[in-house]
Amino acid sequence: MRDTSAAPKISRNFLTVLDFEPSDLERCLALAAQVKADRSLGRQAPTAHALEGRHIAMLFEKASLRTRSTFEIAIRELGGNVIALQSDVALGQREPVADVARNLERWVDGVVIRTFKQEMLEAFAAAAPRLHVINALSDETHPCQALADMLTLTEQLGTLRGRTLAYVGDGNNVAVSLAHAAAMLGVHVHIASPEGYQIPHSAVQQATSVARFGARLRLFTDAADAVAGADAIYTDTWTSMGQEAEADVRRPVFEPYQVNDALMSLARPGALFMHCLPAHRGEEVTSEVFESTASVVFDQAENRLHCQKALLVMLVAEAR
Ligand code: CP
Ligand code: NVA
């Protein structure tokens, strides 16, 4: 078990990137790089017993490959026990959200939740102050994804201060958390979205208020303008989970926002292509770009594991 006596106090929960101070984010990324390097040590790794005797429940109300798999593996590799709750728990339907939270609080140390409304996560956390609640994606934010994205960018670019990250597409959960994390690390963020699909004004204000080292957040409607001089271009699905009924309306609106070779050529030479996955080839990204040497999408996916391990160590193992 690590010596955690000197660990600084951090937020009990991770519902948004804003639960982290910039120093927490930097420490999480450094720890993630360390656990990544240590992974080959297996049970000899310094964090292999960090969650020994601890239980973490997982509750997914939406589909998942990456988040579910990487949290399960992370918990096991930290020596903890995973409880995979089924969606028939039916948060707020079979019994009130607060009652589910107050039951789980009696049995487990933490809960990883993927759900619809961010407010549900907040209500859950408020009802069970002894639990560590981790947001595995909500309609509004996807903070664990942003951790992996920042680790991937750091691996690829070295120092992030003064770099430019262009996000092209829907101003969704992924875009919001990306803007929060990037601004905190001194990355300029350009977001190009169609009118009516830009990130919420509140998220712009939040990102601006946590921005450091002169990082600026700029919104665009023209994808070409947003990617000029960018070190990386990021996109995500045009239709997020829960919005399936809007897919036919959205497709033509987002067509000018496809990340293709022509758009990539307007960014900085050697610019990276990023995507949280799952990707829809021929929609938000072409096969050519997805499969190109610029694409770091599977590094992002791998880094989900290392970042979530670091997050669990900081939130749960080091908690006093
Ligand atoms: N990127 C991501 O969160 O993937 P999943 O939806 O498969 O978990
Ligand atoms: N914006 C997407 C991300 C999936 C990981 C969604 O919410 O469906």
pLDDT digits (tens, 9 = 90+) for 226-268: 999 999 999 999 999 999 999 999 999 999 999 999 999 999 9
For residues 90 and 230, membership in a common domain is answered with no
For residues 161 and 225, membership in a common domain is answered with yes
User: Count of domains in the chain?
Assistant: 2
For residues 69 and 45, membership in a common domain is answered with yes
For residues 129 and 193, membership in a common domain is answered with no
Q: Per-residue pLDDT tens for 51-95?
A: 999 999 999 999 999 999 999 999 999 999 999 999 888 888 899
For residues 32 and 88, membership in a common domain is answered with yes
Q: Which domain holds residue 125?
A: 17-141+304-319
Q: How far apart are CA 20 and CA 15, in angstroms?
A: 10
pLDDT at position 320 is 57
For residues 156 and 277, membership in a common domain is answered with yes
Task: Tell whether the model's pLDDT for residue 216 goes beyond 60.
Answer: yes
Question: Which of the residues 19, 54, 132, 145 is marked catalytic?
Answer: 145
188 three-state secondary structure: strand
Q: Which two tokens stand for residue 101?
A: 């939270």
Computed over every residue of the chain, the mean pLDDT equals: 96
For residues 167 and 265, membership in a common domain is answered with yes
Report yes or no on 171 lying in a domain: yes
For residues 109 and 51, membership in a common domain is answered with yes
pLDDT at position 269 is 98
Q: Note the pTM of the prediction, 2 decimals.
A: 0.97
Report yes or no on 12 lying in a domain: no
pLDDT at position 42 is 96
Ligand 2 and 240: CB distance under 6 A: yes
Split at pLDDT 50, 70, 90, the class of 6 is low
Report yes or no on 238 lying in a domain: yes
Q: How far apart are CA 302 and CA 170, in angstroms?
A: 24
Task: Name the residue at shortest CA distance from atom 6 of ligand 1.
Answer: 64
Residue 278 burial (C-beta neighbours within 10 Å; 0-12, 13-18, 19+): exposed
Report yes or no on 1 lying in a domain: no
For residues 223 and 91, membership in a common domain is answered with no
Mutate to test the pocket of ligand 1, among 62, 296, 304, 307 (most ligand atoms within 8 A of CB): 304
Task: Kindly give the number of the ligand 1 atom that is closest to the alpha carbon of 63.
Answer: 6
Phi-psi region of 147 (alpha: psi -120 to 50; beta: other; left: phi over 0): alpha
pLDDT at position 71 is 98
Proportion of the chain above pLDDT 90, given as a percent: 94
Mean pLDDT confidence for 152-177: 98
For residues 315 and 283, membership in a common domain is answered with no
Q: Which ligand is nearest to the CA of 69?
A: 1
Split at pLDDT 50, 70, 90, the class of 2 is very low
Proportion of the chain above pLDDT 70, given as a percent: 98
